[in-house]
Amino acid sequence: MKPIYEVAAQAGIHEEHLELYGKYKAKLNPSLMDERRERPDGKLVLVTAVNPTPAGEGKTLTTIGLTQALNALGVGAVAALREPSLGPCFGMKGGATGGGRAQIVPAEDINLHFTGDLHAISSAHNLLAALIDNHVYHGNSLGLDPKRIVWKRAVDMNDRGLRSIVTGLGAGNGLPQESGFLITSASEVMAVLCLSENAADLKARLGRIIVGYTAGGDAVTARDLNAVEAMAVLLKDAIKPNLVQTLDGTPVVVHGGPFANIAHGCSSVIGTKTALKLGDVVITEAGFGAELGAEKFFDIKCRQAGLTPDAAVLVVTAKALKYNGGVPAKELDAENPAALQEGLANLRRHLRNLRGFGVPVVVAVNHFAADHESELASIMDACRELGVPAELSDVWAEGAPGGAALAKTLLREMDGQASEYAPLYEAALDLKGKIGKIVTELYGGAGVSYAPAASKALAEFERLGFGELPVCMAKTPYSFSDRPSLLGAPEGFTVSVSRVSLSAGAGFVVVETGNTMTMPGLPKVPAADRMRIDEDGRIEGLL
């Protein structure tokens, strides 16, 4: 690894804008944006994917490798990525920093505590929870109804035992009441930090967080509890984006880490806008399949931040298509041309959806060592029939050279076709109308059914004046529907909305479908089982 100040210099960042966290990590001071304010923005490219297998299909890998390839071609490129969560690192996925020759480093630091951002977000979230309980305990002058407190606790770990708890047990410990924990990536504080433009906007958004309601139905906010300044104190460093590097020294801005299945799934606005002032092309990603992360990127992040994406890269793998064609996860390495043909329906729908947002699209076929040439050829043939440019991506094995063809095709498409980006729905559409439009036009469903409490809550949000907010769908990543077993491109299904919640600070309404959980659990054999650390501090099993 290069010292981080050398990586910064490569991107034109002077040392006075760096706050060093050791030799290989740094935070970027807001003074950098002040200096770069008049510089034209680079082009913004989103990397997204088809619906994945349970193992994931390489969006982060492709984002990193494509950025490396662009730099190798002489294009000043910067990646803008999310921060990993400890929960999945020790749960199902392991690390989230790419792999092979397309990695960001220092990978172990990034996957673990990094610069402490997620801990700061957890602390700010839990400070607000403590202040709520303390307010009720000491007289409750705001009239907060204890039965209508909606703010839970947060921890950056997969722990199903904390989904539903009772607080206040024991003499003198407050009022016993039901509560629970979210994983930090699902916290509204995470979303607030990621959608804020600057420190002033952060405080304004924190103040709008609704923690509960009075008996009369009036909202009680973090501002009402005088919690904003103290929360902002805990987030004073976390709001600054982080600078790291790829294996070949390409600069990468890593900041924020909301999940895409239960939150909005994009890295921070501050990080993205900083990257746009540093690079000629910025490659960013959105989590899971395009119907989740990409939809939220276009309908929430870009809408709120005033960003205009210039192109999208749709990552597809032979394994993902066979999985969507009905092949069990354990059998995906075996050649199965019939299943792959079935799974191509998933690719076609994602491509149609992305084109509907008005951006040029390029398909990246992420190559695995066990892939079969005949299946890769079938994918390329299908892309030609669909009129979409496609390139094989071999960045895991080769790094920048393995992404050169993809990088050249992307540049050609952006030069030849201007973005006509537009969100899926208008802000004036009511909340049920927005949900229905996503389900019928993007997912391919027939309609939506609402639990009575969810329907009542949506009407209440409209009454309180939040009807023009975008919606953030919480849904399984494995299907267009809310049922993970409906693979491929299902039609005619009904999406069941079980619960909705208002994230007034973040600026959206969270819509939970099916049995979506905002606190994941660990799998039967968690990634933690394979991790080891020796006497010299060397870690095995994390990446």
Query: Within this chain, do residues 110 and 129 fall inside the same structural domain, yes or no?
Result: no
Nearest by Cα to 50 from 450, 439, 365, 508: 365
Nearest by Cα to 264 from 432, 47, 471: 471
Query: Which pLDDT value is given to residue 254?
Result: 98
Query: Within this chain, do residues 287 and 144 fall inside the same structural domain, yes or no?
Result: no
For 311, list phi and psi in degrees, rounded to 5: -170, 165
Q: Is residue 269, in this structure, part of any structural domain at all? A: yes
Query: Within this chain, do residues 111 and 127 fall inside the same structural domain, yes or no?
Result: no
Query: Within this chain, do residues 205 and 93 fall inside the same structural domain, yes or no?
Result: no
CA distances 473 to 38, 300, 424, 431, 435, Å, are 36, 11, 14, 12, 8
CA distances 109 to 168, 302, 328, 396, Å, are 36, 30, 34, 20
Residue where one domain finishes, among candidates 197, 213, 234: 234
Q: Is residue 533, in this structure, part of any structural domain at all? A: no
- Total structural domains within the chain: 3
Domain extent, residue 175, equals: 117-234
pTM metric for this prediction: 0.96
> pLDDT digit string (tens) for 423-447?
999 999 999 999 999 999 999 999 9
Q: Is residue 446, in this structure, part of any structural domain at all? A: yes
How many CB atoms neighbour CB 61 within 10 A? Answer: 26
Query: Which pLDDT value is given to residue 474?
Result: 97
CA distances 12 to 7, 198, 280, Å, are 9, 22, 12
Find all residues with CB under 8 Å of 191, minimum gap 6, and list them. 258, 263, 264, 503, 505, 506, 508
Q: Is residue 536, in this structure, part of any structural domain at all? A: no
Q: Is residue 518, in this structure, part of any structural domain at all? A: no
Query: Within this chain, do residues 83 and 131 fall inside the same structural domain, yes or no?
Result: no
Q: Is residue 262, in this structure, part of any structural domain at all? A: yes
- How many Å apart are CA 543 and CA 93, to the nearest integer? 9
The CATH number of whichever domain residue 438 belongs to comes to 3.10.410.10
- How many Å apart are CA 40 and CA 148, to the nearest integer? 47
Query: Within this chain, do residues 259 and 280 fall inside the same structural domain, yes or no?
Result: yes
Residue where one domain finishes, among candidates 234, 269, 287: 234
Q: Is residue 522, in this structure, part of any structural domain at all? A: no
Number of residues in the chain? 543
- How many Å apart are CA 358 and CA 420, to the nearest integer? 5
How many CB atoms neighbour CB 463 within 10 A? Answer: 10
The CATH number of whichever domain residue 367 belongs to comes to 3.40.50.300
For 188, list phi and psi in degrees, rounded to 5: -65, -25
Residue where one domain finishes, among candidates 200, 234, 268: 234
Query: Within this chain, do residues 338 and 229 fall inside the same structural domain, yes or no?
Result: no
Residues of the chain with pLDDT under 70: 93-94
Query: Within this chain, do residues 405 and 306 fall inside the same structural domain, yes or no?
Result: yes
Q: Is residue 464, in this structure, part of any structural domain at all? A: yes
> pLDDT digit string (tens) for 149-200?
999 999 999 999 999 999 999 999 998 999 999 999 999 999 999 999 999 9
Query: Within this chain, do residues 229 and 373 fall inside the same structural domain, yes or no?
Result: no
Query: Within this chain, do residues 269 and 182 fall inside the same structural domain, yes or no?
Result: no
Query: Within this chain, do residues 265 and 398 fall inside the same structural domain, yes or no?
Result: yes
Query: Within this chain, do residues 99 and 129 fall inside the same structural domain, yes or no?
Result: no
